[in-house]
Amino acid sequence: MNDAVITDVSAREILDNRLEPTLRVTVETGAGTGRADVPCGRSRGANEAVDLRDGGDRYRGLGVRTAVGNVEERIAPELIGTDVTDQRAIDDRLVSLDGTPDRSNLGGNALTGVSVAVLVAGAATLDAPLYRYLGGVDASALPVPLFDLIEGGELGASGLDFQEHQVVPTGADSFSEAVRRCSEVYHELGGLIESEFGPASLDVGDEGGYTPTGLTDPRDAFDLELRAVEECGYGGEFSLAVDVAASELYDPDTGTYDVMDERMTRGELVDLYGDLVDGYPLVSIEDPLHEEDFDGFAQLTDALDVQIVGDDLFVTSPDRVQTGIERGAANALLLKVNQVGTVSEALAAASRSRRNGYAVQVSERSGQTADTWLADLAVGLNAGQIKTGVSRSERTEQYNRLLEIEAELGSAATYGVDAGPCLTDRA
Ligand SMILES: O=C(O)[C@@H](CO)OP(=O)(O)O
Ligand SMILES: [Mg+2]
């Protein structure tokens, strides 16, 4: 029998970094095994693929067990006997087997687990590293990491409304240098926070960034970050970025945003972004407005000379990316495979973005495991940007894998070249 033929597909319930149940899917062929853990978001877009999870009781895993059953009883019989390298055909099959636009029948988490495990098994079968299997000989770009040093919103109990306040090592010459600089700044910032807010402030959020209590204004977070950068001797070598996750701040009844204890109109929020861009080296703003406001995104993209990233706006859907392109909304895609459900759809969203001059930032979810397919995906796509959190093992494992890939690529590895015009001048 052909060694690339799928011989088994299985799944089990595991725990993520929040001790919440998720899935691990394993795909076997005659020549290799692929395993993939499924991440899970907390600040989820309304248009994301629907996971089978547990509504009111998310720790008990009942929904996840349904997804496990769907993988083993409904998906596995359809895939056994097919060639594992036919990723596109397999993903099409998954989508049609599910049969719903939001993947709520088999579960977005079941589909994502199978689709990524098929990808990993394909690489194993051909005995190639995952990034190489995905991107061929061209895969060589180590991504610029956006380090989420201070968390707020849904992911950190800091009082800050914006979800992520990231530092971006735009001035580094290599990925390893970038990560080393970020970790120095991380430790320096910890010292500053401890001396200003006391040791309890060293608590970290879901992505391992600090959550100093008592801060409400993003400018305070930026000031702390820039002080840490200066103290480390890297003044001018770092830029700043934010994920506002504005859908979480939006009140559809009044059409306003709750920011810094005020109700802001879209116009006031847009003015705030203008001030932040004028006052700080802010180069990237993710989800600055709520997820259906394509017009507002377009106005902002036009008005500000920075990267505007669509996360909840695009939910990694090729169709929503197309709408964004037609309306001039945003200029970068945040890519999360489990928002859409399959690898092939995520790749289609990425290439449509790229073809239209949009940057691509590969992203973690706030619920992750130590599985590192994300790191390989970033290099395989030559995405040029990654956000994968900061200081917990499910985050640092991504950096460790990227460091391993950088070493493997040796002099072929590049850094920054593919990050898009806002994150580097190294184009
Ligand atoms: O909003 C985001 O970009 C993410 C990850 O950083 O959060 P979540 O996974 O909770 O959606
Ligand atoms: Mg986001």
Three-class SS of residue 216?
coil
Domain-ending residue, one of 103, 127, 151:
127
Q: Which of 204, 336, 340, 369 to mutate to test the pocket of ligand 1 (most atoms within 8 A of CB)?
A: 336
pLDDT in tens, 2-24: 899 999 999 999 999 999 999 99
Instruction: Provide the pLDDT for residue 412.
Output: 96
Q: pTM value?
A: 0.96
Consult the annotation and say whether 243 binds a ligand: yes
Q: Which amino acid makes up residue 344? A: S
* Range with lowest mean pLDDT among 61-70, 104-113, 126-135, 342-351: 61-70
Contacts of residue 177, defined as CB under 8 A and 6 or more positions apart, other chains included, come to 169, 415
- Closest alpha carbon to 246 in 40, 42, 41, 45: 45
pLDDT in tens, 149-168: 999 998 777 889 999 999 99
Segments forming the whole domain that contains residue 29: 6-127
Whether 157 and 36 map to the same domain: the answer is no
Contacts of residue 296, defined as CB under 8 A and 6 or more positions apart, other chains included, come to 266, 270, 288, 289, 290
Q: Which of 18, 20, 42, 51 to mutate to test the pocket of ligand 1 (most atoms within 8 A of CB)?
A: 42
Nearest ligand atom owner, CA of 374: 1
Whether 225 and 335 map to the same domain: the answer is yes
Instruction: Provide the pLDDT for residue 427.
Output: 37
Residue 44, ligand 1, Cβ within 6 A: yes
Residue 111 C-alpha from the chain's centroid: 18
ipTM surpassing 0.95:
yes
Whether 288 and 326 map to the same domain: the answer is yes
Domain-ending residue, one of 127, 148, 173:
127
Residue 366, ligand 1, Cβ within 6 A: yes
Question: Percent of the chain, pLDDT > 70?
Answer: 97
Consult the annotation and say whether 387 binds a ligand: yes
Alpha carbon nearest to ligand 1 atom 4, residue: 365
Rg of the Cα trace of the chain? 21
Domain-ending residue, one of 127, 149, 181:
127
Residue 364, ligand 1, Cβ within 6 A: yes
Measured CA distances, 45 to 124, 130, 310 (Å): 33, 28, 11
Whether 80 and 153 map to the same domain: the answer is no
Instruction: Please report the atom of ligand 1 found closest to the CA of residue 164.
Output: 6
Q: How many CA atoms lie within 13 A of 197 on its CB side?
A: 19
201 part of a folded domain: yes
Whether 297 and 167 map to the same domain: the answer is yes
Q: How many Å lie between the centroid of ligand 1 and the Cα of residue 164?
A: 9
Whether 59 and 171 map to the same domain: the answer is no
Q: Is the pLDDT of residue 326 over 60?
A: yes
Catalytic positions, written as ranges: 207, 336
Whether 331 and 184 map to the same domain: the answer is yes
Q: Is the pLDDT of residue 206 over 80?
A: yes
Q: What gap in Å lies between CA 402 and CA 405, rounded to an integer?
A: 5
130-164 as b/e: b if 16+ CB within 10 A: bbbbbbeeebbbbbbbbbbbbbbbbbbebbbbbbb
Consult the annotation and say whether 319 binds a ligand: no
Residue 17, ligand 1, Cβ within 6 A: no
Q: Is the pLDDT of residue 57 over 80?
A: no
1 part of a folded domain: no
Q: Are strands 384-387 and 144-145 parallel, antiparallel or unpaired?
A: parallel
58 part of a folded domain: yes
